[in-house]
Structure 1
Amino acid sequence: MHSFLIGLQFLTRIRLVNQTEWTAEDFGRSTRFFPLVGLVLGICYASAAWLLVYTKGLFGMQALPTALLLILPLVLTGGLHADGFMDTADGVFSGRERERKLEIMKDSRVGSFGVVSFVLLMFVQFSLLFDMHPLLLVPALFVMPIIGRLAMVLAVSCFPYARKDGVGKTFADMGDRRTVVIAALTTTALVLPWGTLAAAALVLGTAFALLFCSAMTKILGGVTGDVYGAATVLTETLVLAVFSLASTHPNVWGILWK
């Protein structure tokens, strides 16, 4: 429980208990509980989606509820993963040598590549949410953060850390096969009850996270804390894409929604 609360406090702005004393072991062990952190976020996102879907019909608005659903993850996570995504974009797209890319990613300032990439990502996510069938919004937003946190666990545990030190290395040092198994079983138990469409999102999200981190390892010589964040938000976007694309074929998702 202690490690879960540490993970919740680190990855979100949600404070069930204010943790002030963290050991490196507790910090690293929290990795296996990341999907449970995703569960907490998923409950918040799905509840907001349920509320906004019904108020949308009441007030006749479409774009505003979608924008609020887009903003909510940034508020609840403090933009942590979005910051990692932007830093990764700055480094990877800089065209510099590996060491210089890592230096750029470590810089707290956001560059033009990061800003442009994030704006484009927000446009894509907005479009996916806007086009999604209302009946799929709740399950999509429930499983999205859970699968996204599994992607982070895979990045932490299955790939070498690119730097000699850093906050992310604390997680990487504790990431092992047991961590992956616990996180994978937890994610599977939470996602599969939502049907075949959710299962498809889980499979595709897992495959994407592994391919993305493999590509980053080739470019950077490993992964970093910023890559953890990038893997999370990109995997979440893929999950939204699965549900949104299914929305355009009601006969298909009607069969999968079982």
Structure 2
Amino acid sequence: MRLFFVALQFLTRIHIVKQDSWTAEDFGHSTRFFPLVGLVQGVIYLLFAWLLLPVLGQSAVFASLMLILTIIITGGLHYDGFMDTMDGLLSARSRERMLEIMKDSRVGSYGALAAICLILLQWSLLREIDESLIFLAVYTMPLIGRMGMVLVIAAFPYARPQGLGKAFADIADMGTLLVAGVTTLAALIPLGQAAMAALAAGLAAAYLFGHYASSKLGGVTGDVYGAAELLTEATVLASILAIGKFA
């Protein structure tokens, strides 16, 4: 359970037990529990939606409050990585310069614009998803997002000689992927074909983005992990919207 709490406190603002000292090994071994953290998030989002939907309906206010909740729960952790990643990848510079740009704590125009576009997309998807599927969407979104993150961590080499993300990359292996995958499947299989289709779409998006980033950077970084998580979540929402429209 200790490693689960390491993952929970790293990925979210939910602090159940006091943990002041974490080692690189703690971070690395906690990776297998990322989908379980996503499951906790999903339950919170589900309860929030269950309370709001009867009052607000699937309105603009509902979509905005749901997005604000995701930022509050995670502390906006992955948006920082997403913006840094976009600043680097969209700069069209050399590999070394891209990595330097991503390491800069300042947000550039590419990162800011990409974040705005992503939030607008997420907001629009939450507004447009069929109301009968909205609970499925908010529940599965963080769970599959975390699984997509684990896939990128395990499947691609780390681009830097050191860094926080390297602790995850050095320890994550097929066993990590297996444990995370079993957790994800156990949570999604009872929900039926729509959840499994969202899983397939989300993991495909995570892998393709990881492959693209790795081809440009010579590997992936902690920022790329965060970007992959958010893009996976957006893909889950898009796939559930498509299921509602065309199934």
TM-score (norm 2): 0.97
Structure 1 alignment gaps of length 5 or more: 253-258
Task: Map 1:185-200 to 2 at 5 A.
Answer: 185-200=182-197
Cα deviation, residue 115, structure 1: 0.5
Which residue of the partner structure matches residue 181 of structure 1? 178
CA distance in 2, matches of 1:204, 1:64: 28
CA distance in 1, matches of 2:129, 2:95: 39
CA distance in 2, matches of 1:134, 1:47: 15
CA distance in 1, matches of 2:38, 2:77: 14
SS at match of 1:248: helix
CA distance in 2, matches of 1:11, 1:68: 20
**Percent identity between the two aligned chains:** 53
CA distance in 2, matches of 1:23, 1:122: 33
Q: What is the CA deviation profile of residues 11-63 of structure 1, one whole-angstrom value per residue up to 9, with x for unaligned ones?
A: 00011112112122222100000000001100111111111111115xxx821
Q: What is the CA deviation profile of residues 115-136 of structure 1, one whole-angstrom value per residue up to 9, with x for unaligned ones?
A: 0001011111111000112221
Cα deviation, residue 191, structure 1: 1.2
The answer to whether the aligner puts 1:90 opposite 2:87 as a matched pair is yes
Cα deviation, residue 194, structure 1: 1.2
Does the 8 Å contact 1:131/1:247 carry over to 2?
no
CA distance in 2, matches of 1:219, 1:34: 26
Does the 8 Å contact 1:53/1:134 carry over to 2?
no
Task: Map 1:141-220 to 2 at 5 A.
Answer: 141-220=138-217
Residue 246 of structure 1 aligns with an amino acid whose one-letter code is I
Residue 211 of structure 1 aligns with an amino acid whose one-letter code is L
CA distance in 1, matches of 2:176, 2:7: 14
Q: Which residue of the other structure, out of 62, 72, 76, is the alignment partner of 2:73? A: 76
- Structure 1 residue runs of 4 or more that deviate by more than 6 Å after TM superposition: none
For the aligned residue pairs, the C-alpha RMSD in angstroms reads: 1.0
CA distance in 1, matches of 2:229, 2:23: 25
TM-score (norm 1): 0.93
Task: Map 1:13-24 to 2 at 5 A.
Answer: 13-24=13-24
Cα deviation, residue 139, structure 1: 1.1
Residue 169 of structure 1 aligns with an amino acid whose one-letter code is K
Residue 237 of structure 2 aligns with an amino acid whose one-letter code is L
Which residue of the partner structure matches residue 244 of structure 1? 241
SS at match of 2:158: coil
Residue 151 of structure 1 aligns with an amino acid whose one-letter code is G
Which residue of the partner structure matches residue 45 of structure 2? 45
Cα deviation, residue 246, structure 1: 2.2
CA distance in 1, matches of 2:116, 2:178: 35
